[in-house]
Amino acid sequence: MLTDIHALTPYFRNGLLFFPEKTIHALIEVGLDWQVGHRAIRGLSLDDLSSLDQLGQAIDTLLNQVDSTNPFFQALTSDDAYFMLTGKPLG
């Protein structure tokens, strides 16, 4: 069964950054603190630098453990995800 990468990609709404539950569960499995994960599901302010840093570290860990065909890899390395996580366009 194919997974829609958009269902795994972080998104902005009402000025907050949200992470889908499936993505957070995968990040918790590689070491993300569950409290940070819970906040990310409910929406993070871009001022929450500590949580964003922890998410970034967990994302790096996850990306190092999966190959480029994995839906999480595709979702978290997309142009949109990069922009949302860094505030900068890719390239």
In a domain, 1, yes or no: no
User: Mean pLDDT for each 10-residue chunk of the chain (91 residues)?
Assistant: 77 94 97 98 94 93 94 88 74 62
Count of the separate structural domains present in the chain: 1
Instruction: Report residue 33 as tokens.
Output: 């603190």
Q: Residue 30: which domain range?
A: 7-86
**Number of other residues whose CB lies within 10 A of the CB of residue 62:** 20
Q: What stretch of H or E contains 54?
A: helix 49-65
According to the model, what pLDDT value does residue 1 have? 42
According to the model, what pLDDT value does residue 84 have? 76
In a domain, 2, yes or no: no
In a domain, 91, yes or no: no
Q: What is the CB-side half-sphere exposure of residue 65 using CA atoms within 13 A? A: 12
